[in-house]
Structure 1
């Protein structure tokens, strides 16, 4: 998709509005931080050492100028630089600021300390859940084999935008970081989102964000993503077909959907001990769902465990493509908020 010059530039009044919004020391420090990562008011208060009302006021002015976006998540709100021309102008200003400036250097040091503290919290949470996850991992093919299959399925085709549903720890956002320009992970668990943010920050993945959301009612623009993935999520859902319909709605014409889940099995204890709602999915069932959504099934890969006993699980990867014809009509910006 080629974006027209008129979509990259700002009229004079809008340019002046952005310059007025960032033309204050606290707000300039805020955009320097937001150019690196998203923040909450609490984060910004701790880093800049200012009161919450004052930080909130500065963030409000930047939001009104279109420089940053706000994303409510429960009782918290996350802020990040917009991908609009206003946000890009702010990024250009940050790129020309000296990182050796004492004020900016101090902000960066406090920001790094905050990140380390969050990473520690995430690691502690992850450790509590690890026993359950490790037990399930022993039942199926190695994660490295599954990830290799994902990389093989998507190939080397560049992606402008990527959406990961049920992102969990954000592992796929990290795995595919060299393939997309902009990534977004959606998950219903606030705890898992905290883990994902910490892990993405630790891995240096700044072009992906994670958001709280409902897989049955995605708050993203339709026809916006080149690739959508659903990794080991459908078996937890009462209505997998509905989730697939939401995923298909998010695909651009010609976009691809990758689903990774279990083949049919009879391990009933997974319902009782691991909250599985479905005991796997057959090739035929998945093909029927995808056909109903006008998605063409292009590839099916079964990954059997090395021990193929009745107590082991086969992981299946399905690759489907939106059959709509690609046009030059620009798709919606996947990073903007949808009411």
Structure 2
């Protein structure tokens, strides 16, 4: 419950056309100011001013990452509850809502094209490039430790890239499917799996932010160095959770927060790492919980810290298999 003064401030902030459109967009997932400006067709100062009013009223949350900032609906409180209530009552055929969703789809498609072009360019040298900034041996040892003694009936590797996780975890699954949106990466993955004699794994072209339910229910899902390529990693987690068995687990490897802007401008990164609270919030929204978090600082002290999260079904969430 909230006092009347708080509710008046929340209602005043939400009761304006552009701000209501912003709340509806943020109900679809986190977005940067840059993307919201493009979707709404308004200036950056104007959009930022609206977002500040919404944030001050507790309707949205702000997360700064280097030169960018990402916004999402507040997780709880009077503001977050009211925002979701309002958005749920917007007519699905509302012209502004339909136009904003169409522009959102176009923005996401453009981002995917940009990432695909980057991956096509670096596919041949991807494994070597990855080793330049990741304590790979320690992380892979930790991944194997996390699945020790487990053999999954179905393993899904989301954003499989060149198929390294399918190779590494081959003794730990009866069947595996790797999903990636880069044809060039998948061609290399197929060649590597064939060379290693791994016949119980296959790779498919697909969008991990819009997974096909026909893949089946997995008892182990791996998302290795993938989430930082998405503006809204929570959307990917929500998709993964739909395909996770009630007793399954998700292993996520990604960077800790950092300030290396060149990874965004030159290497198609969208998020500058992922913090513990961010991951916990995305997991909670997806009906998951963080069962374990391990960090791996760079061996030379000059690189990036890598984190390994183990997510499990949240027994207090609304689980549906």
- TM bin (shorter chain): 0.5 to 0.7
Alignment of 1:262-281 (within 5 A): 262-281=255-274
Indicate yes or no: 2:316 matched with 1:322.
Answer: no
CA distance in structure 2 between the partners assigned to 1:129 and 1:221 by the alignment: 28
Indicate yes or no: 2:141 matched with 1:148.
Answer: yes
Relative distance call for 1:177 and 1:307 in structure 2 (3 A) is same
CA-based RMSD: 2.4
Kept in 2, the 8 Å contact 1:230–1:258? The answer is yes
Relative distance call for 1:223 and 1:206 in structure 2 (3 A) is closer
Kept in 2, the 8 Å contact 1:126–1:195? The answer is no
Kept in 1, the 8 Å contact 2:147–2:172? The answer is no
Alignment of 1:294-313 (within 5 A): 294-309=287-302, 312-313=303-304
In the alignment, what sits opposite 2:181?
Answer: 188
Relative distance call for 1:213 and 1:130 in structure 2 (3 A) is closer
CA distance in structure 2 between the partners assigned to 1:272 and 1:279 by the alignment: 11
Relative distance call for 1:255 and 1:170 in structure 2 (3 A) is same
CA distance in structure 1 between the partners assigned to 2:201 and 2:170 by the alignment: 8
Task: Single out whichever of 276-285 and 145-154 deviates more from structure 2.
Answer: 145-154
* Divergent runs of 4+, >4 A: 125-133
Higher Cα Rg, which structure: 1
Deviations 1:71-98 (A, max 9, x none): xxxxxxxxxxxxxxxxxxxxxxxxxxxx
- Mark the runs of 5 or more structure 1 residues left unpaired by the alignment: 1-124, 326-330, 332-339
Relative distance call for 1:157 and 1:295 in structure 2 (3 A) is same
CA distance in structure 2 between the partners assigned to 1:170 and 1:132 by the alignment: 11
CA distance in structure 2 between the partners assigned to 1:160 and 1:131 by the alignment: 32
Q: How far 1:251 moved relative to its partner?
A: 0.1
CA distance in structure 2 between the partners assigned to 1:277 and 1:127 by the alignment: 18
The alignment of Structure 1 onto Structure 2 pairs a total of residues equal to 200
Kept in 1, the 8 Å contact 2:123–2:184? The answer is no
Equivalent of 1:201 in 194, 205, 213 = 194
Deviations 1:214-272 (A, max 9, x none): 11111134860000010000111122110110011110111000110000000011111
In the alignment, what sits opposite 1:258?
Answer: 251
CA distance in structure 2 between the partners assigned to 1:313 and 1:271 by the alignment: 14
CA distance in structure 1 between the partners assigned to 2:120 and 2:281 by the alignment: 36
TM-score (norm. length: structure 2): 0.58
TM-score (norm. length: structure 1): 0.55
Relative distance call for 1:254 and 1:295 in structure 2 (3 A) is same
Relative distance call for 1:222 and 1:287 in structure 2 (3 A) is farther
In the alignment, what sits opposite 1:139?
Answer: 133
